[in-house]
Amino acid sequence: QSALTQPASVSGSPGQSITISCTGTSSDVGGYNYVSWYQQHPGKAPKLMIYDVSNRPSGVSNRFSGSKSGNTASLTISGLQAEDEADYYCSSYTSSSTSGGVFGGGTKLTVL
């Protein structure tokens, strides 16, 4: 069981917007602005899409945005495109132990 809770799957049609949630506790998501989101296509390495809750690394499309409210972080993808179909993982700093962070179980995004 993952430390952070994500929906197993979400779907949307091209051009639509979708949101993926990531729920933790006050020891991780709720307590710090250190939430990241990764995109992973099958057989590929993860790619950092969002860091520090809402910052995009250079080169990441502005169709991807992040936010947080309480113990729940969210990734929103607007103007869905076929290439957005992938697995998405959230991660967060945690004060619970000396570790490199905690992860969600991943969400499979299907573009219909």
Partner 1 sequence: EVQLVESGGGLVKPGGSLRLSCAASGFTFSSYSMNWVRQAPGKGLEWVSSISSSSSYIYYADSVKGRFTISRDNAKNSLYLQMNSLRAEDTAVYYCARDLKYQLLPDWDYWGQGTLVTVSS
Chain residues in the site for partner 1 (CB under 8 A): 2, 34, 36, 38, 45-48, 51-52, 57, 89, 91-93, 97-106
Q: Which is nearer to partner 1, 8 or 82 (CB)?
A: 8
Q: How far is the CB of 55 from partner 1 (least distance, A)?
A: 9
Which are the contacts of 99, defined by CB distance < 8 A and separation ≥ 6?
none
Under a CB-based contact definition with an 8 Å cutoff, are residues 14 and 80 in contact? yes
Q: How far is the CB of 106 from partner 1 (least distance, A)?
A: 5
Q: How far is the CB of 10 from partner 1 (least distance, A)?
A: 16
Q: Give the separation between CA 9 and CA 71, rounded to whole angstroms.
A: 20
Q: Which is nearer to partner 1, 17 or 44 (CB)?
A: 44
Q: Which is nearer to partner 1, 28 or 84 (CB)?
A: 28
Q: Give the separation between CA 58 and CA 97, rounded to whole angstroms.
A: 31
Q: Give the separation between CA 5 and CA 53, rounded to whole angstroms.
A: 16
Q: How far is the CB of 82 from partner 1 (least distance, A)?
A: 23
Q: Which is nearer to partner 1, 82 or 100 (CB)?
A: 100
Under a CB-based contact definition with an 8 Å cutoff, are residues 20 and 78 in contact? no
